[in-house]
Amino acid sequence: MEIIQVVPMLPPAIDGLGDYALNLARQLRREFNQETHFLVGNPNWQGKREIEGFPISVLPHRSRGAVLSSLNEISASPAPVLLHYVGYGYAKRGCPVWLIDGLLGWRTTGVHRFLVTMFHELYAFGPPWTSSFWLSALQKNLAMRLARLSDRILTSRQNYAKSLYDLSSGKHTEIPTLPVFSNIGEPDQVSSLTQREKRIVVFGSPSNRGRVYRESWAELQLTCELLGIEEIWDIGAKTGLNLSSMNGVPIVELGERSAAEISGFLLKSLAAFFNYTPEFLAKSTIYAAYCAHGLLPVSHVGSPFPVDGIIEGKHFWTPHHQTDGLRSLESLQAIADQAHAWYQTHNLSVQAQTFAALLANNE
């Protein structure tokens, strides 16, 4: 069976959602012999019209008509459509009215039209001096329309699922919640912390890593002291910061690397640091990668309550109020093990099974 995956962008563009969709396509092919035809929603995307045997179409422009004609051209006998939805992926201000109108037109101008939507995000909100404040109502309305238009929906956070139930007026009573998987692979085996080098990794986009160095310098420094860290490895595109060392601990800038190289670095490192709101870890591909590779995930802050099954001190470690560091390596190993076990409940194979079942249930 062929499916159509609608995405904002794909590699070679640096885009976590595009990586997510491509990894999912590979797994659906591997496990279910299910082929994907990609439809890229950004007309300015630059890339080949095929990747690893998956054909790629690109919207000529962002309009209702372009969505309708592109979907019809891809599959004369309509294939199920899997939409990866992030409002800002399809419109600068997060309001892709044209996309929702186009999908509505596609759904209502033919028979056997089946739409599954993965809500990676719902809608934004912010203080009154931001555009997200003024456009929040429109973004919310678009999410509501899309939820009601879709035959099946799923998302990455439990809070999102609750909101989607309300937005769909109860149309969707079962909304699978799948925290994101690692975009840089899932090793079959991981070694214990005692077998790893005393190194901490900072990985991700320049903005994510920039927050670590600008906002969490003291927390990262304390982590290095407590864990006896001998090197900090910075992985990703340049941050623009002048990084050299932290209290004598060298910061090694490795730059952009392949997924296989990054996976190898994580497998040999004791810990990895992130500056990310704990309440949103279920949608962080960086945290997912850390969990999948069995090292110790370290957060700049804790969380007073569990979210999406993630608990401070059980699935990630914070340096605050810690005094024993490596002397309690057994307890740190327990955190790494529990984070790894949590990840296995929604790894790429589990997610492929869920998507395949939803896409096949189009009667």
Please say if the pLDDT value at position 348 is more than 60.
Answer: yes
Predicted confidence (pLDDT) per residue in 73-100, tens digit: 997 677 999 999 999 899 888 889 999 9
Q: Do 167 and 218 have their domain in common?
A: no
Q: Do 173 and 214 have their domain in common?
A: no
Phi, psi of 281 (to 5 degrees): -65, -25
Domain presence at residue 188: no
Q: Do 151 and 209 have their domain in common?
A: no
In sequence order, what are the residues at sequence separation of 6 or more whose Cβ sits closer than 8 angstroms to the Cβ of residue 38?
A: 4, 5, 6, 7, 10, 21, 25, 51, 54, 55, 56, 57
- Answer yes or no: are the C-beta atoms of 269 and 197 closer than 8 Å: yes
Q: Do 323 and 351 have their domain in common?
A: no
Domain presence at residue 184: no
**Mean pLDDT value of segment 121-142:** 73
Q: Do 228 and 160 have their domain in common?
A: no
Please say if the pLDDT value at position 19 is more than 80.
Answer: yes
Percentage of the chain modeled with pLDDT above 90:
81
Q: Do 65 and 118 have their domain in common?
A: yes
Q: Which domain holds residue 208?
A: 193-344
Domain presence at residue 274: yes
Mean pLDDT across the chain:
92
Q: Do 41 and 139 have their domain in common?
A: yes
Domain presence at residue 99: yes
pLDDT at 132: 60
Predicted confidence (pLDDT) per residue in 271-305, tens digit: 999 999 999 999 999 999 999 999 999 999 998 89
Q: Do 268 and 164 have their domain in common?
A: no
Domain presence at residue 235: yes
3-state secondary structure the chain: CEEEEEECCCCCCCCHHHHHHHHHHHHHHHHHCCEEEEEECCCCCCCCCEECCEEEEECCCCCHHHHHHHHHHHCCCCCCEEEEECHHHHCCCCCCHHHHHHHHHHHHCCCCCCEEEEECCCCCCCCCCCHHHHHHHHHHHHHHHHHHHCCEEEECCHHHHHHHHHHCCCCCCCCCECCCCCCCCCCCCCCCHHHCEEEEEEECCHHHHHHHHHHCHHHHHHHHHHHCCCEEEEECCCCCCCCCEECCEEEEEEECCCHHHHHHHHHHEEEEEECCCHHHHHHCHHHHHHHHCCCEEEECCCCCCCECCECECCCEECCCCCCCHHHHHHHHHHHHHHHHHHHHCCCHHHHHHHHHHHHHCCC
Q: Total structural domains in the chain?
A: 2
pLDDT at 136: 80
Please say if the pLDDT value at position 130 is more than 90.
Answer: no
Q: Do 199 and 298 have their domain in common?
A: yes
**Mean pLDDT value of segment 15-33:** 94
Q: Do 209 and 162 have their domain in common?
A: no
Cα 183 to Cα 185: distance, rounded to the nearest angstrom: 6
Mean pLDDT check: name the lowest of 308-312, 327-331, 341-345.
327-331
Cα 169 to Cα 347: distance, rounded to the nearest angstrom: 30
Domain presence at residue 183: no
Looking up residue 152, the CATH number of its domain turns out to be: 3.40.50.2000
Q: Cis link prior to 78 (omega < 30° from 0)?
A: no
Domain presence at residue 130: yes
Domain presence at residue 186: no
Predicted confidence (pLDDT) per residue in 197-232, tens digit: 999 999 999 999 999 999 999 999 999 999 999 999
Predicted confidence (pLDDT) per residue in 320-338, tens digit: 877 666 667 888 999 999 9
User: What pTM did the predictor assign?
Assistant: 0.91
Q: Do 32 and 110 have their domain in common?
A: yes
pLDDT at 6: 97
What is the bridge-based pairing of β-strands 54-58 and 231-235? unpaired
Q: Do 174 and 238 have their domain in common?
A: no
